[in-house]
Structure 1
Amino acid sequence: MILSVSGVILLGTIVFIFFRKDGLKPSHMCVSTLFGFYLASTAIAPSIKAGGESLASLLGGVRF
């Protein structure tokens, strides 16, 4: 649950930055939000979640 909440915050921040700095129009922001909601209800959603968790564990294992 923490990974999904932090992922939502990260992606929301990126969309906000695109909106403020790179000229993302509000209509584009709404379309990308709706796309995310519809994508979450498809059969590919578990694969996307597993890929995100795999990437997070990979990045979590990086030592500096």
Structure 2
Amino acid sequence: MSITVSLIAILGLLLFFAIKLRSATTGAVIIAVLFGFYLARTDAAPSVNDTVTSLTNALTDIGT
């Protein structure tokens, strides 16, 4: 778990800087995919899933 959390932190920082620099390169896409992949394997995955589900439900309610 500690290796995964460290990797998540590193990938999160890299993704933050890629977004901050508005970098839309292949490397930034790979970082984003890896960040999501490893985040899904942590204990935060259910919370992230619940948040995304709530946001999508709220957006669909706004449209109707």
Task: Name the TM-score class by shorter chain.
Answer: 0.5 to 0.7
5+ residue gaps, structure 1: 1-21
TM-score computed with the length of structure 1 as normaliser:
0.57
RMSD, aligned α-carbons: 1.7
Give the fraction of aligned pairs with identical amino acids, expressed as a percent: 33
Distance 1:56 1:28 in 2: 25
Distance 2:63 2:37 in 1: 34
Distance 1:23 1:34 in 2: 16
5+ residue gaps, structure 2: 1-21
TM-score computed with the length of structure 2 as normaliser:
0.57
Length, aligned pairs only? 43
* 1:1-35 CA-partner distances (Å, limit 9, x unpaired): xxxxxxxxxxxxxxxxxxxxx65111111111111
Distance 2:47 2:60 in 1: 20
* Structure 1 residue ranges (4+ consecutive) displaced by more than 2 angstroms after TM superposition: none
